[in-house]
Amino acid sequence: EIVMTQSPATLSVSPGESATLSCRASQSLGTNLAWYQQTPGQAPRLLIFGASSRATGIPARFSGSGSGAEFTLTISSLQSEDFAVYYCQQYTHWPLTFGGGTKVEIK
Amino acid sequence: EVQLVESGGGLVQPGGSLRLSCAASGLTFRNSAMSWVRQAPGKGLEWVSLISGSGDSTYYADSVRGRFTISRDNSKNTLYVLLSSLRAEDTAIYYCAHVDTGTITFDYWGQGALVTVSS
């Protein structure tokens, strides 16, 4: 099973600043990596697939990068609705696995 | 608009069984791979199972293989999962999710159904 490790566990950011979230895989994934956002009490929302492609309706301030085993999600100019938990997910190998999440909180 | 609506959650004793349903609308269901993803209280996401559009192919996480059974009825646009031999650690919100064509990512999600395993 591929282990996905996200860091940091919690990131404190002021509104308007940018945030950089990391996701590391225990094996190479190519670019088969997705990012999701989850706000309290809500289902997750797909943000990024293919490591860097934004899903439908996702604002341009969300960007993904990376390949192989190291990936990054960058959120530029954080808005109030962006404070949430973010998960990465690999889809190269079965079973599908998620990272443990990064909580982006207001500083 | 795609809508996924789960039902069937509730309280069940350890060792018991429960069937969850997910009614889908706004998509061509028979062409859509579907999945279940769960989230224990205060914890992260865990993929549980996936089924192909035809139902011919199914996949399971090791933690549920042999205890959970995913299925679908394309005539009713409904996805199911039968949860058997339930354990306390199966307590979670179970989300139904549509699998994006071309990748194995989850682009539409239901609101979730809470399953609590406790005596």
Q: Which residues of A touch B105 (CB under 8 A)?
A: 34, 46, 49, 89, 91
Higher pLDDT, B101 or A83: A83
Residue B115 is predicted with a pLDDT of: 98
**Chain B residue with minimal CA distance to A86?**
B44
**Chain A residue with minimal CA distance to B100?**
A49
Q: What is the DSSP string of chain A?
A: ---EEEE-SEEEE-TTS-EEEEEEESS--TT-EEEEEE-TTS--EEEEETTTEEPTT--TTEEEEEETTEEEEEE-S--GGG-SEEEEEE-SSSSPEE---EEEEE-
Residue B101 is predicted with a pLDDT of: 79
Residue B102 is predicted with a pLDDT of: 85
- What is the percent of chain B with per-residue pLDDT over 90, rounded to a whole number? 98
Residue B13 is predicted with a pLDDT of: 98
Give mean pLDDT, residues A5-34.
97
- What is the percent of chain A with per-residue pLDDT over 70, rounded to a whole number? 100
Mean pLDDT for chain A?
97
Checking if the pLDDT of B78 tops 90, the result is yes
What confidence tens digit (pLDDT) does each residue in B34-59 have?
A: 999 999 999 999 999 999 999 999 99
Checking if the pLDDT of A62 tops 90, the result is yes
- What is the percent of chain B with per-residue pLDDT over 70, rounded to a whole number? 100
Residue in the block written with tokens 């769960």: B38
Measure CB to CB from residue B46 to each of A34, A43, A98 and give the nearest one: A98
